[in-house]
């Protein structure tokens, strides 16, 4: 059992952290003995007993004097902790240590982690404030320059490794559906469902330029194929016939995504109202943000998508600003789609710290806006679905990979080989840390002039081959809600056994949960908790696992009313 000693102001952040690191824990209870105690440097006490004490603080602590540590405070520049070959960006202050004893020698020469203590019991001193870092990641997020680092997941991995390396038995419910290695959520923002709606505007003129000069110049530089260049030129010559109704509208192909995604249900975020640019906090948003369609204009396509088992969500305009705007926009998409629950992704990824409360008050099921326009990676530092401080129900499915970020000239402007390399690292991180990779491929991205369909087809195939559960945004969030609903209780017997009791939802048509028993660094055993069985109704199931010396000695299951 992990005991956490924290200030009350940090309690919501602590609770959210341990929804992501799903292992038995509780707030510190006076007089209670713990296997692991996690605390700040100014909150330790001689009366606290634990086999392993983890002191996180960027301020000099009493322990530092007792251990004879010399400290250096770092407050400026690119602060980071390096551990086991990983770099963890630090957004607050950082304290480094120097002593001739058992420090973990890292770069720079003065490490930010120190192992050892003047008294009995293991003590690990970490030179930053963990929960302040978590709060920053879940609210402010990371700058684009640090997008490649899943910082929050790295904080969890570091804490996990420190506990396991001390010899403690650790059990957790990993963010990995049973039978898979991670989750991949397939989503599509519907911005331009028809080129017929764009006549002599910036979108049409941009299409003409990119489909001719732009694509031929890229082909000459080896950044695009000559086949795509000819395909785009053909589309340009076909465009007048599209406007006259004699040729198919080559942007109106949402059904092609259904064929590509196949049995993997995906989510389509649609704009509620035509011609509304919306607002920023300072005033009117740029006119170019206004869409040339509204949800009712593509009602037939929306109904076709829902009939194929796809999910419809709101591509919000002003929903991020206030709850009244969010209610109006959600109601319009609900009316057209015939859906009761809707998730949200804001158009152009407009969002701020007030948005989660507005969306929750409006009744949104989840949000999937937190990501980058200009790059791919981890704005919130995690692959997991998480909750915002200040909300109780709204969940955030962070966005990780977006087509325009990869290929758009004003963003990364990558060639396909470079893009595969960047995406590969995101997949590798998901294999290591679990969680979800959220992919956004816009409606027109598989059509001329972009023609990014081959890359998307390869990406979907690669995700499946690497063991991903490919599903919609809503199903992804539902699985993470299921994991959050699991309650872990730990009891250590006099014989040294650890009993872990878990209660979880059953028969919900979602992949099961699993419990992971860590034996040593790099060694663990997974046990399925709720694989398909004859459970009926909305019952909950209870499991009791008795762990002895890192092995599951007994495993029992019962149904709860």
Query: How many CB atoms within 10 Å of residue 282?
Result: 6
pLDDT higher than threshold 80 for residue 495? no
Instruction: Flag whether pLDDT at 506 surpasses 90.
Output: no
pLDDT at 105 over 60: no
Q: What pLDDT does residue 262 have?
A: 84
Residue 538's pLDDT is 47
Question: Which residue(s) pair with 560 in the sheet?
Answer: 540
Nearest to 503 by CA among 541, 554, 552: 541
pLDDT in tens, 520-560: 777 788 888 764 443 344 455 566 666 554 444 455 555 54
Q: Please give the mean pLDDT across all residues of the chain.
A: 88
Q: Percentage of the chain with pLDDT > 70?
A: 87
Instruction: Write down the pTM of the prediction.
Output: 0.91
User: Left if phi > 0, otherwise alpha if psi is -120 to 50, otherwise beta: which for 309?
Assistant: left
**Beta strands at 2-5 and 25-27: parallel, antiparallel or unpaired:** parallel
Q: Which is higher by pLDDT, 264 or 399?
A: 399
pLDDT value of residue 559: 52
Task: Tell me: pLDDT of 100 over 50.
Answer: no
Query: What is d(CA 329, CA 472) in angstroms, rounded to the nearest whole number?
Result: 21
| Residue 68 clears pLDDT 70, i.e. is over it | yes
Domains of the chain are 2-172 (3.40.50.880), 182-194+251-372+399-479 (3.20.20.370), 486-560 (no CATH)
pLDDT value for 102: 46
Q: Please say if the pLDDT value at position 500 is more than 70.
A: no
pLDDT tens digit sequence for 167-210: 887 889 999 999 999 999 999 999 999 999 999 899 999 999 99
d(CA 266, CA 277) in angstroms, rounded, equals 26
Q: Dump the DSSP string for 161-195.
A: HHHHHTT--EEE--SS-TTSSEEEEEEEEES-S-G
Percentages of the chain per state (helix, strand, coil), in multiples of 5: 35, 25, 40
Secondary structure string (H, E, C) spanning 232-246: HHHHHHHHHHHHHCC
Q: What is the mean pLDDT of residues 300-312?
A: 95
pLDDT value for 157: 95
Tell me the per-residue pLDDT of 137-152, one tens digit each, with 9 for 90 and over.
999 999 999 999 999 9
Query: Three-class SS string for 9-38?
Result: HHHHHHHHHHHHCCCCEEECCCCCCEEEEE
Lowest mean pLDDT among 36-40, 451-455, 530-534: 530-534
Three-state secondary structure readout of 427-444 = HHHHHHHCCEEEEECCHH
Confidence check: pLDDT of 34 > 80:
yes
The reported pLDDT for the residue numbered 113 is: 84
pLDDT at 70 over 90: no
Rg (CA), the chain: 26
Q: Which residues contact 424 (CB under 8 A, 6 or more apart)?
A: none
What is the CB-side half-sphere exposure of residue 223 using CA atoms within 13 A? 15
């Amino acid at each position: 059992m992990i005991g956490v000693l924290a200030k009350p102001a940090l309690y919501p952040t602590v609770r959210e952290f341990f929804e992501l690191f799903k292992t038995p824990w509780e707030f510190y209870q006076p007089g209670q003995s713990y296997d692991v105690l996690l605390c700040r440097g100014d909150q330790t006490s001689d009366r606290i007993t634990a086999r392993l004490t983890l002191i996180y603080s960027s301020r000099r602590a009493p322990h530092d004097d007792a251990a004879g540590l010399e400290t250096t405070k770092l407050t400026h520049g690119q602060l980071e902790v390096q551990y086991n070959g990983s770099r963890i960006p630090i957004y607050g202050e950082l304290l480094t240590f120097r002593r001739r004893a058992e420090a973990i020698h890292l770069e720079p020469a003065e490490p930010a982690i120190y192992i050892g203590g003047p008294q009995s019991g293991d003590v690990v001193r970490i030179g930053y404030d963990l929960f302040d870092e978590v709060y920053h990641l879940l609210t402010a997020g990371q700058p684009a320059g640090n997008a490649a680092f899943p910082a929050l997941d790295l904080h969890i991995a570091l804490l996990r490794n420190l506990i396991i390396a001390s010899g403690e038995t650790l059990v957790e419910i990993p963010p990995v559906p049973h039978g898979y290695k991670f989750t991949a959520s397939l989503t599509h923002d519907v911005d331009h469902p028809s080129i017929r709606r764009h006549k002599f505007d910036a979108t049409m003129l941009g299409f003409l330029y990119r489909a001719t000069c732009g694509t031929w110049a890229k082909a000459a530089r080896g950044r695009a194929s000559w086949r795509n260049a000819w395909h785009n030129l053909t589309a340009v010559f076909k465009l007048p016939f599209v406007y006259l109704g004699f040729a198919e509208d080559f942007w109106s192909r949402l059904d092609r995504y259904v064929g590509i995604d196949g049995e993997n249900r995906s989510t389509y975020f649609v704009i509620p109202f035509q011609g509304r640019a919306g607002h920023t906090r300072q005033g009117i948003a740029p006119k170019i943000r206004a869409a040339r369609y509204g949800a009712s204009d593509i009602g037939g396509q929306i109904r076709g998508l829902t009939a194929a088992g796809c999910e419809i969500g709101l591509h919000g305009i002003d929903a991020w600003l206030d709850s009244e705007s969010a209610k109006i926009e959600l109601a319009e998409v609900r009316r057209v789609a015939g859906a009761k629950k809707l998730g949200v992704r804001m158009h152009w990824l407009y969002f701020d710290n007030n948005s989660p409360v507005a969306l929750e008050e409006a009744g949104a099921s989840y949000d999937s806006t937190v990501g980058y326009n200009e790059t791919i990676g981890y704005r919130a530092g995690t692959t997991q679905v998480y909750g915002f401080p200040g909300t109780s129900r709204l969940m955030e499915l962070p966005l990780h990979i977006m087509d325009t970020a990869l290929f758009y000239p004003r963003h990364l402007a990558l060639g396909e080989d470079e893009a595969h390399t960047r995406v590969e690292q995101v997949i590798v991180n998901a294999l290591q840390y679990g969680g979800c990779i959220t992919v956004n491929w816009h409606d027109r991205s598989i059509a001329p002039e972009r023609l990014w369909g081959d890359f998307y087809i390869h990406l979907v195939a690669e995700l499946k081959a690497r063991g991903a559960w490919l599903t919609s945004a809503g199903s992804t969030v539902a699985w993470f809600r299921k994991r959050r609903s699991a309650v872990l209780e730990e009891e250590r017997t006099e014989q040294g056994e650890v009993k872990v009791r878990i209660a979880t939802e059953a028969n919900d048509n979602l992949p099961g949960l699993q419990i992971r028993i860590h034996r040593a660094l790099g060694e663990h055993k997974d046990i399925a908790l709720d694989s398909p069985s004859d459970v009926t109704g909305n019952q909950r199931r209870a499991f009791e696992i008795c762990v002895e010396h890192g092995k599951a000695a007994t495993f029992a299951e019962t149904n709860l009313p």
